[in-house]
DNA sequence: ATTACGAATTAGAATAATTCCAAATTTCGG
DNA sequence: CCGAAATTTGGAATTATTCTAATTCGTAAT
C-alpha cells in the first residue's frame, strides 16, 4: 500500500512495486505526496498551489498530466461532483462522496457491509459495471 | 403530470398548474417540448439544435436560461456524468443513469423496491441528504 | 384593451477548467 | 554513459457555461 511514509525518501525509480509501467519523475512524486498528505479532495489547482511550495517551477499542465497518469494507473481516484472541477482522492477502497453544504468539505462515505449493487438497482441481465460514482450533498451529521 | 400531449397547444400563460412562479414564454415551452419529445438525455447544445428547427432565432444563451429555470423549478432534471456536458432528463422519479460504453446511450435505472439510502450507506446520525446522484458506466445488458 | 414594470431573450464577450502543442529536458534500460 | 522514448513546460487553444447590457415580452392592474 502506498503511504505518505513510503513517499518521503522516494527517489526516481523507487516507485512502489504495485505500480507498473509508470515512470517515476520528481513531479509525479510530488503530486502524489501532496494528495497523500492532506486527504481533503483537492482540485488540480489546489494540488498545483501546494506542489509549487516545494517545487516552484512545476507547471499546471504537469499537474494535469501527473494526475491523469496517477488516475489511469489506479493510484488516485478522480472525483466529480456536479459541475465543479474534478477533485482527487487517494482512498482507493469502495466509497462515495458527501459534500457538506455548510462547510463545503467532502466526506468519504462507505457502503454498509455486504451491500451489493445488484441488490439495489434494477439492472438488466448481462450488465457489466465498469465504473460507479455516487455523490451526495446535504448536511453531514456528527 | 406534464406530457407532450399537454404541451401541444400550450399558449403563453398556459403553464401547467403545478408550475408556480415560472413565466411561460415561447422559448421555455419549446425547450420543454424538446426534452419531453425525445427522452434521450440531450445536452444543452442538442436541445439548441433541435429547438432551432421550430424556432430559428432562439439563442444558445436562452437554452441555458430556460434549462436553468426548468431545473430549479423541478420540471427537468440535470444529469452530470463524469466531466461531460450536462444532460437533461424529464424523468422526475427516483432513478440513476447508466451510460453504455458501446453505444454511448444513457439508460435510466431504477432502484429495487423498498431500497432506502440509509440501508446502503454508513451515514452519521443527523445527516440530511438534499441531493443524490448515482451514475454508472459499462455494458448495459438486454 | 392598454399600460407599466419586472422578467426574459439575445448576441456577443468573458470566464473557467481542461487539453493541446511543440520544443527542451529527463528517465531508465542496455 | 547513451539514446530512444516519455515527460515537462509555457503558452495557445478549446469547450462548456456564464455574464452583460440592450431590447423585447408577459402579465397583472388599470
pLDDT in tens, A15-26: 554 466 789 899
B103 CB below 7 A from strand D atoms = no
B25 CB below 7 A from strand C atoms = yes
Query: Would you state the cell numbers that stand for residue A54, as one nine-digit string?
Result: 516545494
Name, in order, each residue with C-beta under 8 angstroms of B84's C-beta and a sequence gap of 6 or more: B43
The answer to whether residue B106 scores a pLDDT higher than 50 is yes
Average the pLDDT over A117-135 and give the result: 96
Q: How far apart are CA B61 and CA B44, in angstroms?
A: 10
A131's enclosing H/E stretch is: strand A128-139
Query: Quick check: A111 and B126 CB within 8 A?
Result: no
Average the pLDDT over A108-121 and give the result: 95
Q: Give CA angle at B139 (B133, B142), nearest 5°.
A: 105
pLDDT of residue B142: 83
- For residue B16, name the pLDDT band (cuts at 50, 70, 90): low
Range list of H helices, chain A: 4-7, 26-37, 44-54, 60-72, 117-120
pLDDT of residue B140: 97
B52 CB below 7 A from strand D atoms = no
Query: Quick check: A135 and B137 CB within 8 A?
Result: no
Q: How far is the CA of A28 from the C1' of C23 (A)?
A: 21
Q: Does B114 touch chain A (CB under 8 A)?
A: no
DSSP assignment of B52-71, as one string?
HHH-TT--HHHHHHHHHHHH
Residues 95-114 of A with CB under 7 A from strand C: none
B20 CB below 7 A from strand C atoms = no
- Mean pLDDT, chain A, as a whole number? 89
* Gap from B110 CA to chain A (nearest CA, Å): 6
Ranges A1-10, A58-67, B92-101: which has the least confidence: A1-10
pLDDT of residue B18: 46
> Taking a C-beta distance cutoff of 8 angstroms, is the pair A136, A99 a contact?
yes
> Taking a C-beta distance cutoff of 8 angstroms, is the pair A95, A134 a contact?
no
- For residue B133, name the pLDDT band (cuts at 50, 70, 90): very high
Amino acid at each position: 500500500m502506498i503511504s505518505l511514509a513510503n513517499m518521503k525518501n522516494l527517489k526516481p525509480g523507487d516507485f512502489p512495486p504495485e505500480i507498473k509501467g509508470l515512470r517515476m519523475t520528481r513531479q509525479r512524486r510530488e503530486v502524489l505526496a501532496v494528495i497523500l498528505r492532506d486527504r481533503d479532495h483537492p482540485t488540480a489547482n489546489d494540488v498545483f498551489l501546494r506542489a509549487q511550495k516545494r517545487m516552484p517551477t512545476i507547471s499546471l499542465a504537469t499537474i494535469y498530466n501527473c494526475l491523469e497518469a496517477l488516475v489511469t494507473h489506479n493510484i488516485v481516484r478522480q472525483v466529480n461532483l456536479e459541475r465543479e472541477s474534478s477533485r482527487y482522492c487517494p482512498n482507493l477502497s469502495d466509497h462515495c462522496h458527501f459534500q457538506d453544504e455548510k462547510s463545503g468539505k467532502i466526506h468519504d462515505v462507505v457502503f454498509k457491509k455486504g451491500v451489493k449493487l445488484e441488490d439495489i438497482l434494477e439492472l438488466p441481465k448481462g450488465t457489466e459495471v465498469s465504473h460507479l460514482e455516487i455523490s451526495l450533498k446535504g448536511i453531514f451529521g456528527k
